[in-house]
A and B are shown apart, each in its own frame.
Chain A
């Protein structure tokens, strides 16, 4: 168990490094604010595609539209006309009225009457307290007490969209002012016996009853270094095509509005005409004008979320502590890496990536429905980067594998050609010449033909062996094949056991064999690589049988040691052929076996060596590391063959 864990750790330590680097990169990128734009867009769209909520019946919007203006035949609407509108509304006894129209200056006629109507205690008028680009603010109607004034300043994000609501802020004179939304909410809720107090978790936050309005901070959610002055909250926009009841001024004046739509409700009066520039942008709302929302509607959303939050328990938007958010991102990054670790086929990884991506988005969406804004964009980014990067690497590796296999095949063809050319063709040439030049004896002919037969058979056998390399089996000899899915040590022992039984000249003098076959597992060897290892051992043993003259002792070691696998064959014969290759650099012609062994060593990221043994004999060995970096190693094609 501990060994497995350690092995797993080794794989991760090296293999997951690029993945961890990507996680680190994205984390740093998020901290630096580069992902802010993406996160806000994702946030908007998730809010936008929430299921529709029922219309908030606590709020009625009276929108003065283009038709109303046309009917009034003057703009701005005169004080007299507004006074008539408000008086008409008051008849139905609303809980509060918010007049979202600036009235710092009188618009005659009817100003005196208008002042009188406005002073009715349940009306809140507006001002603008924070300076615009020219440094100017808009005053409230001078004749109203401070409790009847609320500001309508909105805080825009750097992309010009509205996502937050300002509840309170100091004005230029340093006096703390409250917003229209806040004033209306306080009025409405206090009528229902719900007092305002300070937050429990955050004493600077506002609290109605048990519901705390979580203050927006500079790094809330996806924001990085945002303007968090005053007391702001995120707006949990009410979803659906009809979040609020909306009527026109004409409808009110005509008395066609159902009295129950007004009684004990909050009435917001504002201009809903495109000629008035009271328009802001929000992507979170579904509307006829994409992204454009009237100011009075934003006020309604901001007010509605407080009222429904306190009275209905509708979730207000909240975010995780920053540490949690980063843990969440790292978690998805690790998941991306594990996809590649456990699903090796590119197709499966893509599928897994699709599924986990959908799960991630689904989770974030679900959490948002519960009021939790969790980072979706960075998590998705890190998941895709880790998973897709891996898939690309695997495709690359697959191609490399194919290339290596084609090369191997070419080698086999070349070697077969050479074998035929050097063997049977030579014999045939001699035979032909002898037949032409002289009368050959029966015995000579028989001998030569027999030799030819033998040579051709040898060629056939070796070609046949190669032809089997498509399958999961390794052909040891004519009658025996090996299942390559068995443990490596069993496979190698079977090869050893079969090969030393072969009828090779030098095996006859062997007195003692010292085989060591220990546990040596490398779960990431491909079938081709296992085949290569079998061939290597077979070749090394055959070399002893063919070349090690007078060998009496054969040592075969296959084991795992210090994180490396080793196949080592040691004999004590006098190897004329092998040593001459070793000692004579002029003999550069290298056998096919050597070439294959070197190619195998390259593939495994290991080392092949043939050297003299003292006092006699040859040591032939292949050593390769058990755990190698697996994912995302583009460095060289040698490792590309290992998955």
Chain B
């Protein structure tokens, strides 16, 4: 899976973490997997904001806990990371984002913004091994959405996503036709698909067709007849 996106044209990553050791480990792991990628780093929210505006990275990999500026006496704290994430989601709808955090629950309130985000968005639990993080990076680069189960209250779908499911599975329409019918772009339909997949907890597995998996899960949940 990982090899799919690795080593293509020069990709630009920005890694944000206020702990130098963790930062180095993350950068090393990323550099090994994506040898051609240009990787920049930031240790506080201010620098991160500036770098994103300057570099237009393909992907931001960020910790939630961070200080506001290089001289922030209060040190790293999750509110700062949440504020940064909020502004990234607001200003860069096509930026792929991976959030590395142990406090996924703090992100619940941003769920509506994440739902509206048009690019990849994944959350990697910091306590899991690096391999898991690399998978989440890969998914985010593919434009997938993956949020942990704690962020949802059971099965939660936006009405538009449900409509995409119904048009695809009950009427057998292709994305293009769905887009026409719903009066949105094809890109938006694809974005709805990734959100539906996340809501149903369907993620890429080697050798399996994700759309078919999604349809299967939707039937199990009774979303479609």
**Interface residues, chain A, CB within 8 Å of chain B?**
486, 489-491, 493-494, 497, 500-501, 510-518, 555
Contacts and interface: CB of A to CB of B under 8 A. Distances in A.
B109 A486 contact: yes
Nearest to A486: B109
A489 B112 contact: yes
A513 B111 contact: no
Contacts of A497: 108-109, 111, 153
A500 B153 contact: yes
Contacts of B222: 511-512
Given A514-B156, A515-B158, 14 more contacts: A490-B110, A490-B113, A493-B109, A497-B108, A500-B154, A501-B153, A512-B157, A512-B223, A513-B154, A513-B155, A513-B157, A515-B112, A517-B111, A518-B116
A516 B158 contact: yes
Nearest to B222: A511
B108 A494 contact: yes
B51 interface: no
B130 interface: no
Most chain A CB within a 10 A radius of its CB, from B109, B113, B157, B223: B109
Interface string B147-179: 000000111111100100000000000000000
Contacts of A518: 112, 116
Contacts, number: 51
B156 A515 contact: yes
A106 B153 CA distance: 115
Q: Which 9 A-B pairs have the closest CB atoms?
A: A517-B112, A490-B109, A494-B109, A500-B153, A513-B156, A493-B112, A514-B159, A497-B108, A512-B155
A37 B90 CA distance: 58
A224 B156 CA distance: 72
Given A497-B153, A501-B153, A514 B109 contact: no
B221 interface: yes
A515 B112 CA distance: 9
Most chain B CB within a 10 A radius of its CB, from A486, A491, A513: A513
Contact of A490 (B112, B116, B162): B112
Interface string B122-158: 0000000000000000000000000000000111111
Contacts of A501: 153
A517 B115 CA distance: 9
Interface string B178-203: 00000000000000000000000000
Given A497-B153, A500-B153, A501-B153, A514 B112 contact: no
The DSSP consensus for interface residues of chain B is helix
Nearest to A492: B112
A490 B83 CA distance: 12
Nearest to A487: B86
A518 B113 CA distance: 8
A518 B112 CA distance: 7
Interface residues of B, number: 19
A613 to B, nearest CB: 15
Nearest to A555: B159
A514 B158 contact: yes
Contact of A511 (B112, B155, B158): B155
A76 to B, nearest CB: 89
B61 to A, nearest CB: 23
12 contacts: A489-B113, A494-B108, A510-B154, A512-B221, A513-B154, A513-B156, A514-B158, A514-B159, A516-B158, A516-B159, A517-B112, A517-B115
Contacts of A486: 109
Contacts of A491: 109
Contacts of B109: 486, 490-491, 493-494, 497
Nearest to B159: A514
Contacts of B110: 490
B108 A493 contact: yes
A514 B109 CA distance: 16
B57 to A, nearest CB: 25
A511 B154 CA distance: 8
Nearest to B156: A513
Interface string B191-225: 00000000000000000000000000000011100
Contacts of B162: 514
Interface string B100-112: 0000000011111
Contacts of A515: 112, 156, 158
A395 B217 CA distance: 59
Contacts of B156: 513-515
A212 B9 CA distance: 76
A304 B31 CA distance: 87
Contacts of A511: 155, 221-222
A512 B156 CA distance: 6
A486 B109 CA distance: 10
Nearest to B115: A517
A513 B153 contact: yes
A514 B159 CA distance: 6
A517 B154 CA distance: 17
Contacts of A555: 159
Nearest to B162: A514
Contacts of A500: 153-154
A490 B159 CA distance: 19
A500 B154 CA distance: 9
Nearest to B151: A497
A501 B156 CA distance: 12
A470 B40 CA distance: 45
B221 A514 contact: no
Contact of A514 (B108, B116, B157): B157
Nearest to A491: B109
B163 to A, nearest CB: 11
A533 to B, nearest CB: 15
Contacts of B153: 497, 500-501, 513
A405 B157 CA distance: 38
A559 B149 CA distance: 25
Contacts of A493: 108-109, 111-112
Contacts of B116: 518
A514 B196 CA distance: 12
